[in-house]
Amino acid sequence: MTTYELMVVVSASVDLTSDKAQKDLIEKLVGDAGTVTEVTSLGKKTLAYPIKKQTEATYLVATVTGNVKSAVVDKKSKLMDEVLRFLLTVKE
């Protein structure tokens, strides 16, 4: 199994105050391909430039194990209006 780090930039209008809401959002992106082991919120931050007419966003960093494909996460993120950007990297 491979370990990944997934950083997601989420619209500030979405309520992500609970750990369950954060984990559910990451699990929707990853799907059945991986298991979410840890989710950390970096809080709300002002964006350097507007993305989808948003000037603030909440940053989430998740550790995921499994066989996650970037193309699958990309497809799912485009279907979810609350996800502005994501970055999926392999953790060594």
**Structure confidence at residue 45 (pLDDT):** 95
Half-sphere exposure of 42 (CA within 13 A, CB side): 14
Buried b (16+ CB within 10 A) or exposed e, 22-50: bbebbbebbeeebebeebebeeeeeeeee
- Tell me the fold of 2-90: Alpha-Beta Plaits (3.30.70)
**Structure confidence at residue 17 (pLDDT):** 87
Buried b (16+ CB within 10 A) or exposed e, 3-20: ebebebbbbbebebeeee
In the block, which residue shows the tokens 């209006």? 81
Domain ranges for the chain? 2-90
Tens-level pLDDT at each residue, the chain (92 residues): 899 999 999 999 999 889 999 999 999 999 888 899 999 999 999 999 999 999 999 999 999 999 988 899 999 999 999 999 999 999 88
**Structure confidence at residue 89 (pLDDT):** 94
